[in-house]
Amino acid sequence: MIKMMTCLMLAMTIALTLMILCSIISKNSILDREKMSPFECGFNPMSSARTPFSIQFFLIAVLFLIFDIEIAIILPIIITMKWSMTSKWIITVTLFLMILILGLYHEWKNGMLEWAK
């Protein structure tokens, strides 16, 4: 039992030493303001927070979220086809897809999908 504890302590000490050594080796010696600042959405975080915002970026993000949620809803619908009544399943899927298509048509008609203006 004591021999096993000694081996375990030795393994933990070696692992800890290797982790600390890797952390020291991989650390950059030159840390400047640009490398230490977060980079989000293409904005400079050191500038004013009231700078204008690109509406195209916002629209792309919203469209991505809509279609991402659409996929998350459609996949379980396909799986539940086995256990549900066919007529109710077809009505539900058709209604869901029609709402998505009508929303896309509405965005297209209002010019929300025009990227180059």
Residue 70 included in any domain: yes
Residue 102 included in any domain: yes
Give the domain range for residue 95. Answer: 53-109
| pLDDT of 78 above 80 | no
Average of pLDDT values for 84-110? 86
Residue 93 included in any domain: yes
Q: For residue 5, give both structure tokens.
A: 């504890």
Residue 15 included in any domain: no
| Average per-residue pLDDT for the chain | 78
Count of the separate structural domains present in the chain: 1
Residue 21 included in any domain: no
Q: Angle at Cα 89 formed by Cα 83 and Cα 90, nearest 5°?
A: 140
Q: Which of 41, 70, 38, 39 is nearest to 55 (CA)?
A: 41
Q: For residue 94, give both structure tokens.
A: 């058709």
pLDDT digits (tens, 9 = 90+) for 35-77: 666 666 556 666 666 666 677 777 778 878 877 888 788 778 7
% of the chain residues with pLDDT over 70 = 74
Asked if residues 96 and 77 have their Cβ atoms less than 8 Å apart, the reply is: yes
Residue 47 included in any domain: no
Determine which of 14-23, 51-60, 79-88, 94-103 has the lowest per-residue pLDDT on average.
51-60
Q: What is the reported pLDDT for 2?
A: 81
Residue 68 included in any domain: yes
Q: For residue 53, give both structure tokens.
A: 């915002």
Residue 43 included in any domain: no
